[in-house]
Amino acid sequence: RVLEYLNENYYIDTTDEGFMVKFAVHIHNLLMRLENEYTAKNPLTDHIKNSCPLIFECAVGVANCLNQMTGYRIDEDEIAYIALHIGGNLENYREKKEKLSCIIVCPHYYNMPELLVEKISAEFSERLLVRAVLTQESELAKMEKADFIISTTAFTEERPHAVTINPFLRENDLEKIRKEIAIIQKERKKDTLREALEKMTTPEMFYKNPDCGNRKKALEFMIRVMQEKGYADDKFMEKVEERERHSSTAFGRLAVPHAMELNAQKTGIGIMLNEKGVEWEGQTVNLILLFAINKEDRSMFHEVFDNLIVLLLENQNLDRVLQSTDYESFLESIMCCE
C-alpha cells in the first residue's frame, strides 16, 4: 500500500529493487521501534523539512499510510528518516524531467565531434540531453529549437543560451556550461512557477489582513470561501486538520496547510497575507497558502509546493511579498524573488 501511494502521488520508481529492499528494511525497523515505544532522534529534521519540503511532504504521506494500517503515530524525527530514504528516488525522477536539450556545433575534423560529445555527456549526463551534433552554425536554422547551444567556433549572430568553448574542453569551459545550465534552470523554474500559479490562484481567493488572529479562524475563513467556490467538500477542514496533526505545515513565517489526499473537487490556492501575524501552533505566520489539489494536478502541485516554499523561506523574499496590496502585485512580487 505504501509503494502504491508513492507511485501514484509522487511518481516514485517502485520497480527499483535496490530502493525497495532498503526501504522495506527501514520500515520494518521503524515498526519495531514503534512497537517498543522507542523513537530515533534525527538531528537533520528541521534541515530536511525546510530545504526539501516536497520530499518531507512525501514522507508525511508514508507516515499517514502506516498510521492508517497500524495505528502508530509517527513523529517528525522518524518522518525525516523516511524522507532520507525516498529523497534520492524522488530527485532522480525530477532530474530526468528537468533535463535540458542541447545542440553541439563542432567542425568535423578527425574524430573531434565524437570526443567532445563523449566528454560533455560524461560530465553532464544527468542535466543535458545532446539532441544533435552539427558541423556549422548555419545548420541551426533547420533544427528544432533546443534549450542550449554549445559551439567550438564563435557565433556569427547573438543567440540566447549559447556558449563558445575550447574544442579540448578545459575546466573553464566546463564552468561556462555549468553557469549557463544554472541560468536556464532558474528561468525555467520561474516560468513554470508563474504558469502554475496563474492556473491555481484567482483574485477572489486573495485576502490581505483579514481579522483572523489564530490558525483555526484563518482556516475556517479560507476553507468556507473554497467550499462556496466549489474547490472543496464539507469535510475539507477535517482533512486539513488531520494533515496538521502529523506535522505542522508552518515553515517559519509561512504556512502551507492542505489535505493529505489530493482529492479536492478542483485545484486552487487560497492566499492570506497578514502583517500582524496569525498564531500557528506556537509560531507566528504572516503568509498562509491553503492548497486544494485535485489528483489530476499533482504534478503541478509538486512544482509549486517545493519551489514556492524554498523561495519564501528567505526573509527578504517574504518581506517583499507581504508588501503586496492585491492579487496582481502578489504574483509580480513572487516573480521578483531571487
User: Which pLDDT tens digit goes with each residue over 292-307?
Assistant: 999 999 988 988 998 8
**Per the structure block, which three cell numbers stand in for 215?**
490558525
pLDDT of residue 96: 66
CA-to-CA dists, residue 290 to 90, 218, 223, angstroms: 24, 10, 8
Q: How many CB atoms are closer than 10 A to CB 55? A: 25
pLDDT, one tens digit per residue, over 184-243 is: 988 988 898 999 999 999 999 999 999 998 999 999 999 999 999 999 999 999 999 999
3 state DSSP class of 181: helix
* CA–CA gap between residue 106 and residue 136 (Å, rounded): 7
Instruction: Give the residue ranges of the chain where pLDDT is below 70.
Output: 92-97
Q: Which residues contact 312 (CB under 8 A, 6 or more apart)?
A: 251, 254, 287, 318, 321, 337
pLDDT of residue 89: 77
DSSP state of 126: T
H-helix segments, the chain:
2-10, 17-35, 45-51, 53-70, 76-97, 112-124, 171-200, 215-228, 236-246, 298-312, 315-322, 327-335
